[in-house]
Structure 1
Amino acid sequence: MLKPSGWLSVAGVLLLAGCQSQEKKADVVRPLIYQSLEKHYIASNCAAEKCSEVQIEALEFPQSPALTEQLRLRLLALATGVTEGSSDPAQAWDAYAQDFFTMAEEDRRILPEFMASEAQMKAQVYTQYNDLLIIELTSYVYHAGQAHGLPMTQFMVIDERDHHVVSFEDMLKPGQENAFQAALSQAHQHWIEELEQDEQFVAHWPLGETRNVAPTPEGWVVKYNVYDIAPYAVGQPELLIRNDELEGIAEPRYLNL
């Protein structure tokens, strides 16, 4: 009578082990698949060196059309933010290019001696770890007659576990806004010291608030646009708040500890 019982116990252990193995497999999160999308528009009825251009290097997510749409809309809004057109961004690449060429034609008519207008939009992987995919969206828009074009940047943080876009508020623990700002101020001071700047620089270019944050293995990267906290020549400043400085401030999910 004992032998069958022993056999059942062994079988039960094997069955349990098999179930646990299946559970572990189910817990494995596959990296989000993405692929490149490139588009290049050139204005018509113009001399080659005077033709305005729109160049796009975006990403698409075959598993998630919703993420593909969000990325497209965010890039278009980023580029529209530095044009003189409507405050409502275009919803499609073709529509943006058409609107841009309409404005560029007016630029060329008024200022024919200047180089052609151009717009660039790009999405690229900034980092990928801990089931998080961080995309950096960038745009650069130049209109004929300007001293220089204006670059813009924005992070898009994606949770690969459920394919949703993570907001700054999602990453921060409730009620920790002031603590985050204090940590950011400290990171800003380190950055100022690295630039070898003084209090006069800070007085002219004070630290401002931003929600443009990317969680990385080293800590949170906080990135600003040109003119936000420094002159154009400095570019787009990146401040790093290390993981240990964010304990108790950030949700553990977004800290690499």
Structure 2
Amino acid sequence: MHLLKIAALGALCLMLGACQSLFGPGLGEPLQPERKAFEHQQPGCTGEQCPLFNLDTLSFADEPALNAAIDAQLLDLTRATPDEARPASLELYEKRFLADAKPGWSSYLQAKVREQHDGLVIVELSSYVFTGGEYGQPGRAFINYDRRLHKVLELQDILLPGQEKAFWDTARLAHQAWIVQNKLLEQDPNFVKDWPFQPTPHFALTFGALTLKYDIDRIAPHSVGHPELKIPYPRLNGIVKPYYFPGRSAQ
């Protein structure tokens, strides 16, 4: 009888779209991830030039798809080229990196929550891998995770049908505004020619405006770092599904 009452209450909650707290955090409540952070140096090495592996990542209870996506994205950031095979696991990557590393080499991987709103968890991922030379290899990425669907969102998931071109046309306007705001033409009259607009795979459904982040040396010189373009949501009316506009999705 007790089990029947619980089942009946669960069914009522589903019909009413309420009682989220009966089964876990409601969509209006942010998830509280568990942080895992450590730094290991090459076994047996002593001195200031010992190779290092540093990991600072997150794990979310009851969200295995998000946890798997974080691990996979961090592993992708370790690759020197897109064609390079993804390591099988973070543990295996650490073992191989430290085993092969030369003095001064280092690898830093980080995942942090950038925002949570409207049933979304937005994770920003960062990396810096140094294996000699003048510069290391920095990387950035986003994960947009829909807690209702238990799914990582791709760009096509948030766009209305047939609106990809319109989305990138709007992004191009944001790029032009970014150039003006940062006075880049004053610094280099050939900036637009030398660093033309390009799409990026890194987008985030941040609350104030949709954010596009670029890899280093993609649309600006190395010294600029990782540029971010902001697209206000009103400019995305008729392009992005209203469901993914902040504050407009059901709680």
Q: 1:224 aligns with which of 195, 201, 214?
A: 214
| Alpha carbons 2:13, 2:19 under 8 Å: kept | no
Q: Give the match for residue 252 of structure 1.
A: 242
Q: Give the match for residue 33 of structure 2.
A: 34
Provide the rounded CA distance (Å) in 1 between the counterparts of 2:97 and 2:13: 57
1:65/1:24 CA distance change after superposition, 3 Å: closer
Q: CA deviation at 1:136?
A: 0.3
Q: Give the match for residue 157 of structure 2.
A: 170
Aligned-partner SS, 2:36: strand
What amino acid sits opposite 2:44 in the alignment?
A: N
| Alpha carbons 2:52, 2:107 under 8 Å: kept | yes
Q: Give the match for residue 206 of structure 1.
A: 196
Q: 1:235 aligns with which of 202, 225, 233?
A: 225
| Alpha carbons 1:31, 1:160 under 8 Å: kept | no
Alignment of 1:1-20 (within 5 A): none
Q: Give the match for residue 13 of structure 1.
A: none
Identify unmatched segments of 5+ residues in structure 2: 1-11, 21-25
What amino acid sits opposite 2:101 in the alignment?
A: A
Question: Does residue 152 of structure 1 match 2:151?
Answer: no
Q: 2:16 aligns with which of 23, 30, 38?
A: 23
| Alpha carbons 1:138, 1:153 under 8 Å: kept | yes
Alignment of 1:67-86 (within 5 A): 67-81=66-80
| Alpha carbons 1:219, 1:255 under 8 Å: kept | no
Alignment of 1:92-111 (within 5 A): 92-105=89-102, 108=103
Q: Give the match for residue 141 of structure 1.
A: 129
Moved more, 235-244 or 63-72: 63-72
Aligned-partner SS, 1:25: coil
Q: CA deviation at 1:104?
A: 1.7
What amino acid sits opposite 2:93 in the alignment?
A: Y
- State which structure, 1 or 2, has the greater radius of gyration over its C-alpha atoms: 1
Q: CA RMSD in A?
A: 2.2
CA offsets 1:139-175 (integer angstroms, 9 cap, x no match) = 111112x112121111000112232111111011111
1:119/1:21 CA distance change after superposition, 3 Å: closer
Q: Give the match for residue 88 of structure 1.
A: 85
CA offsets 1:183-210 (integer angstroms, 9 cap, x no match) = 1011000110012122511111111111
Q: CA deviation at 1:46?
A: 2.9
Q: CA deviation at 1:24?
A: 4.7
TM-score, structure 1 as length reference: 0.81
Q: Give the match for residue 9 of structure 1.
A: none
Q: Give the match for residue 47 of structure 2.
A: 48
Aligned-partner SS, 2:56: strand
The alignment of Structure 1 onto Structure 2 pairs a total of residues equal to 227
Q: 1:161 aligns with which of 135, 145, 148?
A: 148
TM-score, structure 2 as length reference: 0.83
Q: Runs of 4 or more off by more than 6 Å in structure 1?
A: 19-22
Provide the rounded CA distance (Å) in 2 between the counterparts of 1:154 and 1:21: 34
Aligned-partner SS, 1:49: coil
Identify unmatched segments of 5+ residues in structure 1: 1-18, 109-115
Provide the rounded CA distance (Å) in 2 between the counterparts of 1:90 and 1:175: 35
